[in-house]
């Protein structure tokens, strides 16, 4: 195959959502976050796919499911470069970039083992972004964590 030929590695969908440019290794976390396994929707997952933009990326295609704004914000917590494509009749109808929410409530686990949010209450973080560095400030233990430190 020459460099001008393209191969479709993942089949197209007629209706649904494609989450592209997911940070490598985060697709399974996003599937869990969106409760996709509890639905009857057909899902295609691509892991460690080649990307000119990111070198390697993950990809999720969900047939006949369209994401809410809240779900798009949740995705950004784990895949800040993600693009969400709404597909209708095999064509992109709408393209959205993931964007960070102001707060992450009940989504992340506080790395502080002594934090009360690990036992009795939903976690609650303020999402902070400074010079493209993202951190999370826990409401309960009042500690701030880098993206890499938190799940």
- The model's pLDDT over 22-73, given as tens digits with 9 standing for 90+, comes to 999 999 999 999 998 888 889 999 999 998 888 999 999 999 999 988 899 9
Residues of the chain with CATH 3.30.70.140: 16-97
Under the banding of pLDDT at 50, 70 and 90, the label for residue 139 is very high
Residues sharing a CB contact under 8 Å with residue 23, sequence separation 6 or more, in sequence order: 54, 57, 58, 78, 79, 80, 81, 82
Q: What is the third-level CATH fold of 16-97?
A: Alpha-Beta Plaits (3.30.70)
- By DSSP bridging, strand 144-146 and strand 55-63 are unpaired
- What pLDDT, in 10s, does the model give residues 38-48? 888 899 999 99
Dihedral angle at the C-alpha atoms of 68, 31, 150, 135, nearest 10 degrees?
Answer: -30
Q: What global pTM score does this model have?
A: 0.83
User: What mean pLDDT is reported for the chain?
Assistant: 89
Residues of the chain with CATH 2.30.30.20: 103-149
Strand order of the sheet with strand 55-63?
43-51, 55-63, 16-23, 83-88, 91-97
Question: Where do we find the tokens 């409401």?
Answer: 139
Strand order of the sheet with strand 133-138?
103-105, 124-130, 133-138, 144-146
Nearest to 47 by CA among 56, 36, 38: 56
Question: Is 103-149 CATH 3.40.50.720?
Answer: no
């Amino acid at each position: 195959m020459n460099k001008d030929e393209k191969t479709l590695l993942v089949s197209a969908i007629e209706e649904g959502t494609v989450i592209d440019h997911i940070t490598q290794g985060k697709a399974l976390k996003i599937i869990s976050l969106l409760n996709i396994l509890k639905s009857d929707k057909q899902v295609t997952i691509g892991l460690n796919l080649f990307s000119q933009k990111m070198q390697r990326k993950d990809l999720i295609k969900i047939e006949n499911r369209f994401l809410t704004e809240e779900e798009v914000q949740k995705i950004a917590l784990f895949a800040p470069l993600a693009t969400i494509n709404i597909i209708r009749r095999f064509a992109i109808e709408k393209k959205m970039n993931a964007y960070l929410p102001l707060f992450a409530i009940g989504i992340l686990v506080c790395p502080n083992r002594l934090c009360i949010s690990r036992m009795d209450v939903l976690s609650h973080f303020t999402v902070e972004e400074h010079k493209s560095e993202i951190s999370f400030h826990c409401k309960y233990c009042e500690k701030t964590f880098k993206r890499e430190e938190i799940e």
